[in-house]
Amino acid sequence: MQRYFVSEHDMKATVVEITGDDVKHISRVMRMQAGDEIICSNNAGRTVQVSIEQIADDKVVGLIKAELEPHTELPIQVTIAQGLPKGDKLELIVQKGTELGVSHFQPYAAARSIVKWEAKKAKKKVERLEKIAKEAAEQSYRERIPTVGESISFGHLLKDAKGYTHVIVAYEEAAKSGEASALTKVLNGVQKEDSLLVVIGPEGGLTDSEVKELEDAGAILCGLGPRIIRTETAPLYVMAAISYHLELMR
């Protein structure tokens, strides 16, 4: 079944109304008709099975047939703090990170970030990434759409780090030195509903100064295996490890 997100306001006790671009997708792309069934989530923990009753130009109305409990969300809240990468790498990170269970994406300007977000274009960039997150959340049967923040400074990131239960840093020098247990130790100590901040550097990595400041803020430096991986691969590696550790092993 096709899945769609609606607002809490549009999901009533027995009826769901779908508006916006999803109306076109249902009527013109999927060519659905009255009687067809879809899955709807209100992005706040409620997911239902819906039978379409009416398809109009501006909205689709359906009757709720059953309450569902997909259990597709990770047991912890994970934020990926991504040093601004080049090209469309951030779009890939948001798409695949959403599939893997990320709760929030926080781009930040690292010392070695080549890309800079212009303030006047930041809103459109975020809107583009939010659309990618929504589509990926629907495709992967997520119950919630991850949020995407505007790019912040490294100093701002350090302040935000204080609000998380755990903070880890993907650090290539730790990988080079053979460190292989820090990530496992952190995940062994994670409890349900904890929050985890994962800091990833840009293409050139984090500077020694940035690493020192993160350590001083309580972050744990983690190697991600013996190989050096790209900036867009690192968050996906971490998310796969988190899912394996917290969902498949428990």
The pLDDT of residue 124 is 95
Residue 50, φ and ψ in degrees, nearest 5: -125, 140
The pLDDT of residue 231 is 97
The pLDDT of residue 250 is 74
Over its C-alpha atoms, the chain yields an Rg (Å, rounded) of: 20
pLDDT over 90 (residue 119): no
Q: Tell me how far apart the alpha carbons of residues 137 and 145 are, in angstroms, rounded to a whole number.
A: 6
Q: Tell me how far apart the alpha carbons of residues 100 and 237 are, in angstroms, rounded to a whole number.
A: 10
- Predicted TM-score (pTM) of the model is 0.94
The pLDDT of residue 27 is 96
Q: Identify the bridge partners of residue 169 per DSSP, sorted by sequence position.
A: 199, 221
The pLDDT of residue 226 is 87
Q: What is the pLDDT of residues 85-114, one digit of tens each?
A: 999 999 999 999 999 999 999 999 999 999
As a whole number, the mean pLDDT across the chain is: 95
Contacts of 2 (CB under 8 A, 6+ apart): 26, 30, 32, 38, 39, 138
**Stretch 183-211: mean pLDDT, rounded?**
96
**Stretch 11-34: mean pLDDT, rounded?**
96
Q: Tell me how far apart the alpha carbons of residues 26 and 146 are, in angstroms, rounded to a whole number.
A: 23
Contacts of 165 (CB under 8 A, 6+ apart): 190, 191, 194, 195, 196
The pLDDT of residue 180 is 72
Maximum Cα–Cα distance for the chain, whole Å? 62
Q: What is the pLDDT of residues 216-233, one digit of tens each?
A: 999 999 999 888 899 999
What b/e readout covers 71-95, taking b as 16+ CB neighbours within 10 angstroms?
eeebebbbbbbbbbbeeebbbbbbb
And the tokens for 45? 């923990």
pLDDT over 70 (residue 215): yes
Q: What is the pLDDT of residues 132-188, one digit of tens each?
A: 999 999 999 999 999 999 999 999 999 999 999 999 999 988 766 767 789 999 999
The pLDDT of residue 84 is 97
Helix residue ranges per DSSP H, the chain: 21-24, 89-100, 119-139, 154-161, 172-176, 182-189, 208-216, 234-243
